[in-house]
Structure 1
Amino acid sequence: MGDLKKVFLDQKEFFKTGKTKNIDFRIDALKKLKKAIKENEEDFLIALNKDLGKSKFEGYATEIGIVYDEINIHIKNLRYWVRKKKVKSSIIYFPSKNYIYKEPYGVALIIGPFNYPFQLVIAPLIGAISAGNCTVIKPSESSLNTALLLEKVINKTFQGNYIKVVAPTEGKEAVTELINTPYDYIFFTGSVGVGKIVMEAASKNLTPLTLELGGKSPCIVDKDSKIELAAKRIVWGKLLNAGQTCVAPDYLMVHKDIKDELLKKLVEEIEKQYGKDIKNNEEYPRIIRERDTEKLKEYFNDGKIYYGGEYDISDRFIHPTILTDVQANSPVMENEIFGPILPVIEFSDIDEAINFVNSRPKPLALYYFSESSSNIEKVLKDTTSGGVTINDTVIHVAQTSLPFGGVGNSGMGDYHGKASFETFSHSRSVVKRGTFIEFNIRFAPFKDKIRLLKKVMK
């Protein structure tokens, strides 16, 4: 474990040299990162398949391709983002000019999850590089093939005193030591429970942090929605990575008038996308571990199985499953599912659905299907969530022009595109005073000055 402390201290020393603050240095690092990914692209796709059963298409679309977009945007815009920004100054302190400078925090720690083990490590790394930080990365040991490849590629591409991937075989003890080390910034992606532990540890060093967590993201389908299209898009979003997606539709709320029709269309769409022999479809992913598969199958007891229900623990396979007659306080409705199980609850009007969502912790994402502009605005006005997609699922996450993050129990802070640069940057306020004149109103003695002060500050 002493090696972890040494890596941290080495990076602190390298940061002091000021090299990472150089814009050309940052852009060069981003280009080196992209080149390294390109050269090992096929190996990463193979590793993702071994860990999670992701097809090459899904691996590229949801992991590697998104990262390329991120890198390109940062390379293109970084010189503009880093410029000091002039802002309005108060007449009271004339002559003066106010500026906001963007500066790196120093040494950042990124802790990644198992479900998107490439994208959810590299995307925040891009922000850390762009902002001028040194970075230590702890990938998830659960996605071991991807983590080992990240360690090999990143550590070969960059010097350890600048960017370093900690050996993924280092387990919970390493994470404990890392989060208790006084890093200048921590970026954590994972569960709510572990996020609380990370935040508590960070508080002891007053370390600022971003928490990308999860929760139960509702998917509401109203009676005026385009049912067939809604089914197609819900199935796609739910079955990405076999449901192991933090923004997957976690439960379905459907208007009672269209419930039967929507459920039939969901089944049709599942079999249209993955066939009837889903277990043997090579494009259908696997659950990360046997113990997670075991846990998921227990949710089958929390409702009536409308469709699916098959599983194979040793193969880490859970069949896409729709549950009806689900109780609001059952485990499948209390816990984030993180699997291809979709519990269904019906509602009679949109206010009922909104009240149900608002009675629970604030979700990471919310999805609403409707053709009514007024109802769409009502849902947006009367609910809170990290992000929203209307008439589709998940895709708000892939928009690099939008910040992505949670609210309340689903996380704090955001990233993607410019937001990633902002997240890993400290906004430093700077006032530059002129010296050619001075007004004495603010200096003692204050006798008879308050009337003039009130004329200026009113």
Structure 2
Amino acid sequence: MITDRQGEIATALKQDINRSQYDTPLLELIGLENEISLAVSKLAQWDAPRPVEKSLLTISDQVYIQPEPLGVVLIIGAWNYPWALTLQPLVGAIAAGNAAVVKPSELSEYSASLLKALLPRYLDQELYPVVCGGVSETQELLRQRFDHIFYTGNSTVGKLVMEAAARHLTPVTLELGGKSPCYIDKDVDLRVACRRITWGKFVNCGQTCIAPDYILCEPSIQNRVVEGIRQTLLEFYGPDPKSSPDYGRIINQRHFNRVMALLDGYTAALGGQSDSSQRYIAPTVVKDVPPYARLMQEEIFGPLLPIVTISDVDDAIHFISEREKPLAIYVFSSNKKVIKRMLAETTSGGVTVNDVMMHYTLNSLPFGGVGQSGTGRYHGKHTFDQFSHHRACLVKSLGMERVNMPRPAWSVQ
């Protein structure tokens, strides 16, 4: 389906979110194809019985873990990457032997409609039906009993999904988000750091759950960071990002208004321009943002990048640790001691050092959150395991045992 319909998928993404033709395969489809290829090549290995260590009591027995399907699962996709974040879980669900109800996000309406039209042409629609619709359809689905629910989205809806699942004692995977910090050490190569941060923050118009949400750096390098981002934006999108074919748009008017409201009261060091009629918000950087400003209280999920100044690495670690556990942490430093401390003294769903978001691209690494940023994990074998029941199996022999026959009632005691 992905091979045959790449042009139609790209057109739908252009209509939904102004995704460029170049970004569609890179951000959505290549990763999906890799997941499918991996599952096909490794399925026999993943599904095989997994022997475990024996004890003296079971030394001559068979002791193993057998993965088996959970049953029927519900996959609720997200609108910001409507193909990758809906179909990647489905790959693992199919590999693990489950049936699945697929619910794409109604916000990416063109992609949702296309998925509903295409999937039944390639997969058994009785085993893998696609249900489109909004809140009422999702609520009706959540009233049904499933064997697992996989949800990608925000924490507010995630709580509702978890509450609905609890009525049936259904396990859940919640891929949420949060404010992923990006610490820049003063001794790092700022040119490289700013280039990588700029890409990760403003690709897809900032609507990426693992995008750097804010920057932490010392005051002495703040202006150099802003200048590095300015030069990179000029290279990526030209002098007018609004006219660039590579720069996206906010998904709908409600989210446009939400993101713009976060900018109230601030003067942008870079960008700040907007056009409501096109749902366009320029790549924007804000300096000297107070730690407890509104801009720092919720996940931005848009092209606004606040910079919060801290005194040193100790201050940065304290700043990160006193907040909710993020989906990702990014550290830019050439100092091994700083990197080691950041890894040891903070926690997050994932971490990438000297780049952003790249840990997501490795299907050998589990992807998921911790605490408020989510529960459960997927990608590659981790998705297979997430959608499997790991059954404990012990097969004993009836031999090798002396059986004491009961004494007759008349025998001498």
Q: TM-score range by the shorter chain?
A: over 0.9
In structure 1, what is the Cα distance between the partners aligned to 2:113 and 2:290?
42
In structure 2, what is the Cα distance between the partners aligned to 1:375 and 1:341?
27
SS of 1:428's partner is strand
In structure 2, what is the Cα distance between the partners aligned to 1:407 and 1:174?
28
SS of 1:224's partner is coil
In the alignment, residue 9 of structure 2 is paired with which amino acid?
F
Q: Provide Cα deviations, 1:51-96, integer angstroms capped at 9, x if missing partner.
A: 0101011111010111011111111111111110111122134542
Q: 2:378 is matched with which residue?
A: 415
In structure 2, what is the Cα distance between the partners aligned to 1:78 and 1:208?
23
In the alignment, residue 350 of structure 1 is paired with which amino acid?
V
Q: Provide Cα deviations, 1:390-432, integer angstroms capped at 9, x if missing partner.
A: 0000111111111100000000011011111111111000001
In structure 1, what is the Cα distance between the partners aligned to 2:31 and 2:60?
47
In the alignment, residue 258 of structure 1 is paired with which amino acid?
I
In structure 2, what is the Cα distance between the partners aligned to 1:140 and 1:440?
63
In the alignment, residue 229 of structure 1 is paired with which amino acid?
V
SS of 2:395's partner is strand
SS of 1:103's partner is strand
Q: 2:49 is matched with which residue?
A: 84
Q: Say whether residues 1:297 and 2:260 are aligned partners.
A: yes
Displacement of 1:438 in angstroms is 2.9
Q: Provide Cα deviations, 1:272-291, integer angstroms capped at 9, x if missing partner.
A: 11111111111100000012
In structure 1, what is the Cα distance between the partners aligned to 2:396 and 2:267?
71
Is contact 1:302–1:326 with CA below 8 Å preserved after alignment?
no
Q: Say whether residues 1:361 and 2:317 are aligned partners.
A: no
SS of 1:430's partner is strand
In structure 2, what is the Cα distance between the partners aligned to 1:387 and 1:302?
33
Q: Relative to 1, partners in 2 of residues 1:146 and 1:435: Cα closer, same or farther, differing over 3 Å?
A: same
Match of 2:95 among 108, 126, 130: 130
In structure 2, what is the Cα distance between the partners aligned to 1:200 and 1:165?
23
Q: Say whether residues 1:240 and 2:222 are aligned partners.
A: no
In the alignment, residue 271 of structure 1 is paired with which amino acid?
L
Match of 1:392 among 351, 355, 371: 355
Q: 1:69 is matched with which residue?
A: 34
Q: Give the alignment's Cα RMSD to 1 decimal.
A: 1.3
Q: 1:104 is matched with which residue?
A: 69
Is contact 2:226–2:270 with CA below 8 Å preserved after alignment?
no
In structure 2, what is the Cα distance between the partners aligned to 1:407 and 1:388?
12
Displacement of 1:302 in angstroms is 4.7
In the alignment, residue 20 of structure 2 is paired with which amino acid?
S
Q: Say whether residues 1:272 and 2:235 are aligned partners.
A: yes
In structure 1, what is the Cα distance between the partners aligned to 2:402 and 2:370?
46
In structure 1, what is the Cα distance between the partners aligned to 2:58 and 2:401?
9
Q: 2:104 is matched with which residue?
A: 139
Q: 1:27 is matched with which residue?
A: none
Q: Percent identity?
A: 41
In structure 1, what is the Cα distance between the partners aligned to 2:382 and 2:175?
14
SS of 2:188's partner is coil
Is contact 2:184–2:215 with CA below 8 Å preserved after alignment?
yes
In structure 1, what is the Cα distance between the partners aligned to 2:312 and 2:294?
25
In structure 1, what is the Cα distance between the partners aligned to 2:304 and 2:232?
15
Matches within 5 A, 1:23-422: 36-166=1-131, 168=132, 170-422=133-385
Displacement of 1:354 in angstroms is 0.6
In the alignment, residue 88 of structure 1 is paired with which amino acid?
E
Q: TM-score, normalised by structure 1?
A: 0.86
In structure 2, what is the Cα distance between the partners aligned to 1:191 and 1:179?
16
In structure 1, what is the Cα distance between the partners aligned to 2:173 and 2:389?
13
In structure 2, what is the Cα distance between the partners aligned to 1:171 and 1:149?
16
Structure 2 unaligned spans of 5+: 405-413
Q: Aligned pair count?
A: 404
In structure 2, what is the Cα distance between the partners aligned to 1:439 and 1:184?
44
Displacement of 1:37 in angstroms is 1.6
In the alignment, residue 140 of structure 2 is paired with which amino acid?
E
Is contact 2:288–2:309 with CA below 8 Å preserved after alignment?
no
Displacement of 1:139 in angstroms is 0.3
Displacement of 1:294 in angstroms is 1.4
In structure 1, what is the Cα distance between the partners aligned to 2:168 and 2:196?
44
Instruction: Give the structure with the larger helix fraction.
Output: 1
Q: TM-score, normalised by structure 2?
A: 0.96
Q: 1:17 is matched with which residue?
A: none
Q: 2:411 is matched with which residue?
A: none
Displacement of 1:270 in angstroms is 1.0
Select between 101-110 and 323-332 the one with higher mean Cα deviation. 323-332
Displacement of 1:437 in angstroms is 2.0
Is contact 2:35–2:380 with CA below 8 Å preserved after alignment?
yes
